[in-house]
């Protein structure tokens, strides 16, 4: 007999979900594998505050000792931010972490799965995984893309990082039927930079328009996720020409050290942090806060539009 997965929610999340009030899910891999302590904890707590300030409720997703959580208190976020030996959990390891009683941080793919289980339709993060450079040989394509193709959650990010192959990532998303919407500009943003040199497939300029699009998608049925690409604020961006050299250097290091598979993204982020003298982390935090704000506003618009 198939059972169901128990989800432990905070009271705040349970109340909001029961009342149909706006909730925004947050991933935890960015905390455990994406940023160093203690900036990672500060970021995680600040992101929650930004979402509350917009009138929505934050639900940070993680698996702790085999229990799936939607919403974490400050003590749990602090413990997770300092923990070592936390699994990076994507679709392939989600059930494993629960069955084995492990502690796991959820990637974009696993956070989308958890959000759907919990009944949350908005999710804010920094950047999604995508098609890695050289994927034609390594076959390294993030499970985030498959998840976007199948799971009906709106993911707000700052675009795909230029450590990836952005044109191939956009092609893979199109193949999977995922709408990619740049917010307020024609160009696809590239995480630390506002510009990627590539046109975004779609553009919308207001949260109301995004809510209307989502409601239409739901009416059409059989849909997966949608990606909102929100450019990093101008004051926080690192221009694409500056990032270019750092990215090339980090990719060389990864190649020289034979870094593969799940370790690639965390390794590159760590290298780039050093190469930019910490500036990439400041930008990363700023863009996550910016995405959390937009996701909360979309959640509010969606709740109003669905009434
Ligand atoms: N982008 C970041 N920081 C991160 C990640 C992406 O700026 O920590 C994480 C996300 O959790 C994303 C994952 O889902 O990396 C993708 O990893 P992979 O390429 O191994 O699927
Ligand atoms: Mn990968």
Same domain? For 109 and 242 the reply is no
CB atoms within 10 A of CB 233: 14
Establish how many alpha carbons lie within 13 A of residue 29's alpha carbon, considering only the half-sphere containing its beta carbon: 24
- Residue 276's CB is within 10 A of a number of other CB atoms, namely 18
Q: Above 70 in pLDDT, residue 177? A: yes
Q: What is the CATH number of the domain that holds 8?
A: 3.40.1790.10
Neighbours of 76 (CB within 10 A): 15
Q: What is the pLDDT of residue 162?
A: 80
Please, where are the H alpha helices in the chain? 11-19, 29-32, 39-53, 74-82, 91-99, 108-118, 135-138, 143-150, 166-175, 207-220, 240-256, 264-275, 279-305
Domain range for 167 is 125-307
Summarize pLDDT for 243-262 with one digit per residue, the tens.
Answer: 999 999 999 999 999 998 88
- Å from CA of 38 to ligand 2 middle: 26
Question: What's the sign of the alpha-carbon dihedral 29, 149, 237, 168?
Answer: positive
Q: pLDDT tens digit string along 77-114?
A: 999 999 999 999 999 999 999 999 999 999 999 999 99
Query: 186-242, pLDDT tens digit by residue?
Result: 999 999 999 999 999 999 999 999 999 999 999 999 899 999 999 999 999 999 999
Tell which atom from ligand 1 comes closest to the C-alpha of 106.
Answer: 11
Residues 133 and 80 in one domain: no
Statement to judge: residues 31 and 151 lie in one domain: no
How many CB atoms are closer than 10 A to CB 147? Answer: 27
Whether residue 2 has pLDDT greater than 80: no
Residue 161: band (very low, low, confident or very high) from pLDDT cuts 50, 70, 90: confident
Write down which residue in 120, 147, 175 finishes a domain: 120
Question: Mapping DSSP to helix (H, G, I), strand (E, B) and coil, where does residue 199 land?
Answer: strand
Predicted TM-score (pTM) of this structure: 0.96
Q: Do both 48 and 182 map to the same domain?
A: no
State yes or no: is 161 an active-site residue: yes
255 is catalytic: no
Determine whether 235 is exposed, middle or buried from the number of CB atoms within 10 Å of its CB (0-12, 13-18, 19+). exposed
Does 29 share its domain with 114?
A: yes
Which residues fall in the annotated binding site for substrate?
88, 108, 142-144
Res. 1: pLDDT tops 60 = no
Residues 224 and 255 in one domain: yes
Q: For residue 191, which atom of ligand 1 is closest to its CA?
A: 7
Residue that finishes a domain, picked among 71, 89, 120:
120
Whether residue 132 sits in one domain with residue 111:
no
- Sign of the C-alpha dihedral, residues 186, 30, 22, 57? negative
Cα separation, 95 vs 296, in Å, equals 29
**205 and 70 fall within a common domain:** no
Rounded average pLDDT over 121-135: 96
């Amino acid at each position: 007999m198939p059972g169901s997965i128990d989800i432990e929610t905070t009271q705040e999340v349970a109340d909001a979900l029961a009342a149909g009030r706006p909730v925004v899910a947050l991933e935890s891999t960015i905390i455990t594998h994406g940023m160093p302590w203690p900036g990672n904890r500060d970021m995680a707590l600040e992101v929650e505050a930004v979402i509350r300030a917009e009138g929505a409720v934050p639900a940070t997703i993680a698996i702790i000792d085999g229990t799936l959580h939607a919403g974490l208190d400050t003590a749990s976020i602090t413990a997770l931010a300092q923990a070592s030996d936390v699994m990076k959990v994507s679709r392939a390891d989600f059930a494993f972490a629960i069955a084995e009683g492990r502690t796991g941080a959820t990637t974009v793919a696993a956070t989308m799965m958890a959000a759907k289980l919990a009944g949350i339709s908005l999710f804010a993060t920094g950047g999604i995984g995508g098609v890695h450079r050289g994927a034609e040989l390594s076959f390294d394509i993030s499970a985030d893309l498959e998840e976007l193709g199948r799971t009906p959650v709106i993911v707000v990010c700052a675009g795909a990082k230029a450590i990836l192959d952005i044109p191939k990532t956009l092609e893979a998303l199109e193949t999977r039927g995922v709408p990619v919407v740049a917010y307020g500009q024609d160009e696809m943003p590239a995480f630390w930079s506002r510009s990627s040199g590539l046109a975004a497939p779609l553009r919308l300029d207001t949260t109301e328009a995004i809510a209307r699009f989502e409601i239409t998608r739901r009416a059409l049925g059989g849909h997966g996720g949608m990606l909102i690409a929100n450019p990093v604020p101008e004051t926080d961006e690192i221009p694409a020409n500056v990032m270019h050299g750092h990215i090339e250097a980090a990719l060389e290091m990864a190649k020289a050290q034979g870094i593969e598979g799940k370790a690639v993204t965390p390794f590159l982020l760590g290298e780039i942090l050093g190469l930019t003298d910490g500036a990439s982390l400041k930008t990363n935090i700023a863009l996550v806060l910016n995405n959390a704000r937009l996701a909360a506003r979309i959640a509010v618009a969606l709740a109003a539009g669905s009434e």
